[in-house]
Amino acid sequence: MTTSKFQKKSMKSPARLPGDPTAKQIVERIVRVDHAGEYGAVRIYEGQLAVLSKSSKRILIEHMRDQEKIHLKTFSEQISKRKVRPTALLPIWHAAGYALGLTTAFLGDKAAMACTVAVEEAIDEHYASQIKALEPFEDEVTLRETCIKFRQEELEHRDVGLEHGAEKTPGFAFMKGAIKTGSKIAIWLSTRI
């Protein structure tokens, strides 16, 4: 059976109800929020490195920071290419990301790792929902593959955190919950503002 013209067109974007965002709006929101998230991630690791420059975990943190820089570069390019307005909250994430990294690192390298676990868990769920949202858009296969690749690297960061003592931080469950909630609020805001 051959695919009709109508079927081909309908596969490009999913059925839309009145008031639903358009495909363009969905993709713009994804690019905006991912750019913001990766920006914040770089700042968190930079904050941690300012404190942990002599720690045995420095190389690990530098490696994660460098991967976040590549993620940020990719979404910065998407912002320019698609002429998407970046979130107006970047100056806040600049300060808040750094402060979060700095504060957790002051509590010790295990607390820094706990911060990574919390943030990456939130980002994993976030990327997973985007990967699902992008599934119907045939024109956005490359963007979806980028999200899949970056999600995998964020999961590696979470595993690094777990392998390097995150769960041994006093009050780990509370800390993880608080940071994860904060990350989700930041994601929600950056999608919209």
Could you tell me which stretch among 32-40, 49-57, 95-103, 135-143 binds Fe ion (CB under 5 A)?
32-40
Could you tell me which stretch among 33-41, 92-100, 126-134, 162-170 binds Fe ion (CB under 5 A)?
33-41
158 forms part of the interface with Fe ion (CB under 5 A):
no
100 forms part of the interface with Fe ion (CB under 5 A):
no
Q: Give the shortest CB-26-to-Fe ion separation in angstroms.
A: 20
Nearer to Fe ion, 136 or 159 (CB): 159
71 forms part of the interface with Fe ion (CB under 5 A):
yes
Whether 46 and 98 have beta carbons less than 8 Å apart is answered as yes
Nearest to 126 by CA among 15, 41, 8, 44: 41
Ramachandran region of residue 66, left (φ > 0), alpha (ψ -120 to 50) or beta? alpha
Nearer to Fe ion, 41 or 134 (CB): 41
34 forms part of the interface with Fe ion (CB under 5 A):
no
- C-alpha 30/C-alpha 34 separation (Å) is 6
Strand intervals (E) in 122-165? none
157 forms part of the interface with Fe ion (CB under 5 A):
yes
126 forms part of the interface with Fe ion (CB under 5 A):
no
Q: Give the shortest CB-171-to-Fe ion separation in angstroms.
A: 22
- C-alpha 148/C-alpha 11 separation (Å) is 21
Site for Fe ion, residues 37 to 66, rule: CB under 5 A = 38, 41
Longest CA span, the chain: 65
Three-point CA angle 138, 140, 145, nearest 5°: 110
Nearer to Fe ion, 29 or 69 (CB): 69
- C-alpha 193/C-alpha 159 separation (Å) is 31
154 forms part of the interface with Fe ion (CB under 5 A):
yes
Q: How many CB atoms lie within 10 A of CB 73?
A: 12
Residues that bind Fe ion (CB under 5 A): 38, 41, 68, 71, 154, 157
